[in-house]
Every structure is written in structure tokens, then in C-alpha cells.
Amino acid sequence: MTRPDPSISDLVADRRPGHSLPAGLYTRADVFDADMEIFFRNHWIAVGLECDVPEPGDAYVLDIGKSSLILLRDDEGEIRVLHNVCRHRGARVLNAGNSIVSKLVCPYHQWTYELSGELMHAPHMGQGFDKSCRSLKPVKFVSVGGLVYACLSDNPPEDIDRLIETMEPRLAPYDIRNAKVAYQCDVIENGNWKLTIENNRECYHCLGNHPELCLSFIDLDFGYDPAALSQADRERADAHEARFAEVTMAWEAAGYPSAAVLPRVEGDTNFRTQRLLMNGAGESQSPDTRAACKKLLGTMTDKMLGDVHLWGHNTWNHFMADHAVIATVIPLGPDRTLVRTKWLVHKDAVEGVDYDVQHLTSVWVATTDQDAELVERSHAGVSDPAYEPGPYSEFAETELESFAGWYVRQMRVNGY
């Protein structure tokens, strides 16, 4: 005799603090649908960059669940985000990906929209047809220092202001608005989006899995049990902590906001930021830990300003003096997740002169592939009937507890 599946609310109620989630929250199709509604429709999500569309007429289409967004730059140079749904009979106007357009022309019956979304031409619709109420629907969006966040709901969470206030000054010297996408790559991970995010919220796995990234990452920044350290490592940890505190103060004094801003479990918009030191030469997440682009971003002149990390519930970002790495996470199914990574450099940086794409991207290309393998491995394991939620390390996995606590709270607030 088979027992009926627990409800989503039962799964949420079953989640033990300090532990990974009950299996069904990672694997079930009904939970995936609920996640898409709550976390990818009712919340602000990272969708793209102003510099995805540098010139008027540039368009970038991103599909999110059943929705599709057109991010574009209009004739006045302003960013617009529109629903990719024709106001005639609903056809998709543009295909996913990048395109250059002078007008938005629906391929079905050629209804033609201005880049503002306004309908300008609808053949054979008769004299009395009112075009003015048939514009492409706008999507609510904000630009956070050039990072475009959108919300598909009509009532977006108000606390996006905290993200804007925190990140605008942090990102200003990098001028991400006017950067250039030097390279982009998509990896489809065979796992649930929450496993993708959990994997990214800890570096417990880094030493064992990311040899390239570990050249620039400082293991001590990601949580350790002091009692487990040898005398020598404890001295190294103390020395690092003292140096890090000193450098953070110096960065702040020089006008570069650096201190940690932590997520609030009771907040709707989940993010965390901190400027961290890098290892080795300390300049960049490159194969030799030195700047991988000769022209620095924005108004940056000092290569030793560390790495501004920004983590959100569908994104992680690294802003270094020479380049930035921006990852966006879009769930495709309960066990499939798109991770789209973009590498940004100064808009005037010239490929082959100021940077070499392979050298610029190799660390995060390798890391992203390694993480895809880990997420697939972890999705397979949580799908096994033998899986039961396991304990997070209170030292190395505090951000997972923070994410899981926020996830569960949002599920409850939304009726589960």
C-alpha cells in the first residue's frame, strides 16, 4: 500500500532548522511550480544587465518559466523591460537571446511596436481600432548600478530599496552600467535551483573541488571550526583576520564601501554583500591572480581593492578592479537549472590587446563546470529514497541556514 504524498505545507513544516531541506522540496513538480510563482514571479530577480543592450535597438530576451521578458534600449537610450507577448493573439515577438531591432515586429501578423512598447502599426484592424491601449505590457524593473532586477508581479516587494541603497555606492567606481560583456556562457545543471544556490552559498566544497578558484579565494573567509585548526593554521587565521579588519577599514576610509551587509530572514529581498581580499597577488580571479584585463573597470585605478561579492537568491557576482563575473540562475524544471555567466570588462578594453578571453574566463568556466557536476551529484542523492536531510556545518555552512530559513519563511508567508 502506498501512502499519499505529503502536502507542500507538510514538507515546509518538516524542515528541521540546521538541516538541508526535505527531499520533496528539491524534487517535486508541485514544489517547483510553487517556487516559480513565489520566488521567480513575486520576488525581484536578477534578469540581465544594462550593458547587455549597450546601443538603442539592442534587445535581450530571457525566458523565465512561462514568462518571457524583452530587455531593450529604446531610441532615447533608456532601458525598457517588456513582456514578450504580442497584444494581438499573444505570439512571442522576439526569440530568446540577443538581437538588434529598429521596431518590434511580431512575426505572426506583423503588428509593429515602437521600442517604447507602443503599438504603431496593426494592418487590417479597421478604422475604429484603438492602438493606444495595445502597447506591449511593461515589466516592473530597477537597475541596481547597471544590474537589472525585474519583478513579474504587480506588487513587488518594497525592500528592493535596501539593495539599491547598498549596491549603488559599492558599484559606482566599477561603472557596470557602461561595461562590456566580453564573454557569456550557459551551463544547464541537472539539479534543482535551490541546490545550485546552496552550492554557491558555501565554500566548504571549494578546497576539494575548485583548484583554479582556490588560487584567489581565501579559504579562511568561508567559515572554519577554530577547534579543528592546527596551531599553525590558527595563527594563519588570526593573522588573516587582523589583516582583513585593517584592510577593510582602509578601503572604507578611501571611500570604497566594504563591510558586510547581511541578508535579513524577515526581508523579502534576500541579498548579502561584502568586499573580500583575494589570495596570491590579490588582484583578480585569474589563473595567475593578477589583473586579466589591462584596462580597469570604470574609474578604478587600484588593483588591490579586493572582490566585491554580491549574492542574491538567483544570482552571484564578483566585482574586481579589472573585470566582473555575473551569474544568473533560472530554473528550467524541478531538476534542471540554467546558470548563465557573464564576464564584464571596461567598454573600451580591446580583445587581444587588453585581455585574452580564455585567460579572462578560465577560472570561472572551470569552477562553473565543477559546480554543475556537484549539483547533479547532489540532486541524484536527494532523489534517492535513502536520503534524509543532513546537518549544515555551523561554521562553514551558515549561509545555507540563512538561505533555507528565508526560503521556508517565504513559503509560509505565501500560504504553505
Exactly one of 41, 109, 264, 336 binds ligand FES (CB under 6 A); which one?
Answer: 109
Which does residue 213 touch among Fe ion, ligand FES, ligand 3BY, none (CB within 5 to 8 A, set by kind)? Answer: ligand 3BY
**CB-CB contact of 282 with 139 (8 Å):** no
Q: How far apart are CA 270 and CA 263, in angstroms?
A: 5
Looking at residue 6, the DSSP 8-state letter turns out to be P
Burial class (CB in 10 A: 0-12, 13-18, 19+), 296: buried
Residues lying near ligand 3BY in the complex (CB under 6 A): 199-200, 202-203, 206, 210, 213, 367, 371
x/- letters, 39..78, toward ligand FES (CB under 6 A):
----------------------------------------
Q: Judged by CB, which is closer to ligand 3BY: 200, or 410?
A: 200
Which span (57-65, 82-90, 205-213, 316-324) binds ligand FES, by CB under 6 A? Answer: 82-90
Counting residues that bind ligand FES (by CB under 6 A) gives 9
Q: How far apart are CA 29 and CA 190, in angstroms?
A: 15
Pick left, alpha or beta for residue 90 (phi over 0 → left; psi -120 to 50 → alpha; otherwise beta): left
Q: How far apart are CA 324 and CA 331, in angstroms?
A: 23
Q: How far apart are CA 184 and CA 161, in angstroms?
A: 28
Which span (107-115, 226-234, 250-258, 351-359) binds ligand FES, by CB under 6 A? Answer: 107-115
111 in contact with ligand FES (CB under 6 A): yes
x/- letters, 360..379, toward Fe ion (CB under 5 A):
-----------x--------
Angle between helices 398-413 and 193-200 (to 10 degrees): 140
Q: Which amino acid is at 148?
A: V
Q: Judged by CB, which is closer to ligand FES: 134, or 201?
A: 134
Which does residue 89 touch among ligand FES, Fe ion, ligand 3BY, none (CB within 5 to 8 A, set by kind)? Answer: ligand FES
Angle made by CA atoms 123, 129, 133, in degrees to the nearest 5: 105
Exactly one of 91, 250, 254, 260 binds ligand FES (CB under 6 A); which one?
Answer: 91
113 in contact with ligand FES (CB under 6 A): no
Q: Judged by CB, which is closer to ligand 3BY: 172, or 366?
A: 366
Q: How far apart are CA 127 and CA 185, in angstroms?
A: 48
Of 177, 181, 391, 414, the residue nearest 298 (C-alpha) = 177
92 in contact with ligand FES (CB under 6 A): no
Burial class (CB in 10 A: 0-12, 13-18, 19+), 76: exposed
Q: How far apart are CA 342 and CA 329, in angstroms?
A: 12
88 in contact with ligand FES (CB under 6 A): yes
CB of 90 to ligand FES, least distance (A): 6
CB-facing half-sphere around the CA of 180: CA atoms within 13 A: 15
CB of 123 to ligand FES, least distance (A): 9
Which does residue 243 touch among Fe ion, ligand 3BY, ligand FES, none (CB within 5 to 8 A, set by kind)? Answer: none
**CB-CB contact of 104 with 97 (8 Å):** no
Which span (104-112, 214-222, 314-322, 336-344) binds ligand FES, by CB under 6 A? Answer: 104-112
- Interface residue list for ligand FES (CB under 6 A): 86, 88-91, 106, 108-109, 111
